[in-house]
Chains A and B, each alone.
Chain A
């Protein structure tokens, strides 16, 4: 039986670079590439370089993420709902102070920095302050606090005086999204566009030339691994897709049903199975603390996209309740 997953329509212009990381999602001109990525979701720093002299920097802070995981903290939502008390209003962050701290002259180079800070703007979703500075180069940026997720993001495009910084900043801020949409976070870098459920945390990443791997963990022991290999016409010359799956997909249990199918119109290998054995039972017992359904079901899809000359693999270890998780992840992947 052949299963099929249709390609999702691209919402952004094809030549532009889509960047997605830890819930942030924005578009930059073509050929811009991520050069610094953080692992943490709570706060971090992202740097994207242009082929020339411009670059974009994004810093974010999630004030709620650093809250200590105490027993009281965990019980508080239940206590509030039992007492019918609304959650305490979130304290607004002083954006001007944050910005002043960032733009404060530092060292010899900082003395020549001239900056302009515009008055605070407020709309339905954000409180924001735009700024620009010039000195050794120029920059245009914005700092804002998202009302729905509470995240504070500061983003700027930096370049030399001849660079089109204003146009690039306008493009970046036009569709900057600071949190996931419909419960899914977009993860996009180096031609890889994928998505993972918002509650899944990035636990490891490998960003190598020609090979990308993002590994996520869910709250109840679920595991999601998204991999992308470049140079498919070279690396897969001596392997069929089934052989590639057998050699590269290391999460696969010893016994799993492998069948041919299609993903986004490409020939694919789809696998499904169940992890058995003493180790899987112990893992199931461990996961049972958080959930009565252990994540022992395995699903995977491997496909080659001829248009982009890349091989993709998505592997999932899930519980029995999330039956269609693989299909949902595949529906949000973009390969060409």
Chain B
């Protein structure tokens, strides 16, 4: 990873982002992708309805693999809890604190789990991050 980031620093055309600062990550405000609808099942777990990507890649893949227009993803109980907190107003720090209080876990343990989970949601474009009021990434 260190080599990768060093390469990104000296070879900017590779577009490798530098490692995120822990404090900066804690200040981010996660926001659910508005294109994704969700509903809760009887067990209180969120069922996400994720529409197919509308960009060129999504269209090509849709034709090639006959992907459905909408696919569903089911989150577990803790995942649903964090998903519902991703409303663009709460920071990662606030979500960690709230989750830690809800499930009586130490802040450090929750921070590791929540940041990994949010990273996974971000990679799948399920959430983005609000940098300033009204501006999201």
Contact = CB atoms under 8 A, between A and B. Distances in A.
Contacts of B112: 209
Nearest to A310: B104
Interface in B83-137: 103-110, 112-113
Interface in B55-89: 76-78
Given A209-B113, A210-B113, A234-B77, A191 B103 contact: no
Contacts of A49: 108
B104 A33 contact: no
A248 to B, nearest CB: 19
A210 to B, nearest CB: 6
Interface in B24-57: none
Nearest to A52: B23
A210 B109 contact: yes
B103 A33 contact: no
Contacts of A31: 106-108
Give chain B's interface secondary structure class: helix
A230 interface: yes
Interface string A198-220: 00000000000110000000000
A230 B107 contact: no
B16 to A, nearest CB: 26
A311 B105 CA distance: 12
B106 A309 contact: no
A190 B104 contact: no
Interface string A217-251: 00000000000001101100000000000000000
Nearest to A53: B23
Contact of A230 (B76, B77, B109): B109
Interface residues of B, number: 13
A264 B84 CA distance: 36
Given A209-B113, A210-B113, A230 B108 contact: no
| Chain A: interface size category | 10 to 19
A230 B78 contact: no
A33 B106 contact: yes
A209 B109 contact: yes
B107 A210 contact: no
B107 A309 contact: no
Contacts of A33: 106-109
A73 interface: no
A271 B104 CA distance: 28
B105 A210 contact: yes
Interface in A45-93: 49, 51
Contact of A308 (B104, B108, B113): B104
B81 to A, nearest CB: 10
A231 B106 contact: no
A51 B107 contact: yes
Interface in A1-44: 31, 33, 35
A231 B103 CA distance: 6
Contacts of A210: 105, 109, 113
Nearest to A237: B77
Give 10 closest A-B pairs by Cβ, nearest first. A33-B108, A309-B104, A209-B109, A209-B113, A209-B112, A230-B105, A234-B77, A190-B106, A231-B103, A31-B107
Interface of B: 76-78, 103-110, 112-113
Interface of A: 31, 33, 35, 49, 51, 190-191, 209-210, 230-231, 233-234, 307-310
17 contacts: A31-B106, A31-B108, A33-B106, A190-B109, A209-B112, A209-B113, A210-B105, A230-B103, A230-B104, A230-B109, A231-B103, A234-B77, A234-B78, A307-B104, A308-B104, A309-B103, A309-B104
